[in-house]
Amino acid sequence: MRAPVVCAVVVAGGCGSRFGNPGGKQLVNVAGRPMLTWSIMAFDRSMYVGHIVVVCPPERRDEMRRLAIDPFEFQTPITFTDAGETRQDSTRAGIEAVPTGFDYVSIHDGARPLITTEAINIAIASLLGDASADGVVCGQPAIDTLKIVDGNRIVETPPRSMYWAAQTPQIFKLDVVRRAHEEAIRQGFVGTDDSSLVERMGGCVMCVESPRDNLKVTLPEDLRPVTAILLGRMSDAESAQDTGIIARSPLR
Q: What is the pLDDT of residues 162-201, one digit of tens each?
A: 999 999 999 999 999 999 999 999 999 999 999 999 999 9
User: Distance (Å, rounded) from C-alpha 88 to C-alpha 94?
Assistant: 10
Domain for residue 213, yes or no?
yes
The pLDDT, as a whole number, for residue 199 is: 97
The pLDDT, as a whole number, for residue 70 is: 96
Contact 39, 9 (CB under 8 A): no
The residue segments making up the domain with residue 46 are 6-239
Domain for residue 251, yes or no?
no
Domain for residue 219, yes or no?
yes
Domain for residue 247, yes or no?
no
Give phi and psi for 109, each to the nearest 5: -75, 125
Tell whether omega for the bond before 169 is within 30 degrees of 0, i.e. cis. yes
The pLDDT, as a whole number, for residue 3 is: 75
What CATH number did the domain enclosing 120 receive?
Answer: 3.90.550.10
The pLDDT, as a whole number, for residue 20 is: 52
Domain for residue 16, yes or no?
yes
Task: State the alpha helices, DSSP H only, in 45-116.
Answer: 61-64, 87-96
Domain for residue 249, yes or no?
no
Domain for residue 22, yes or no?
yes
The pLDDT, as a whole number, for residue 252 is: 43
The pLDDT, as a whole number, for residue 19 is: 53
Count how many domains the chain has: 1
Domain for residue 248, yes or no?
no
Q: Low-confidence residues of the chain, pLDDT below 70? A: 1-2, 14-24, 237-252
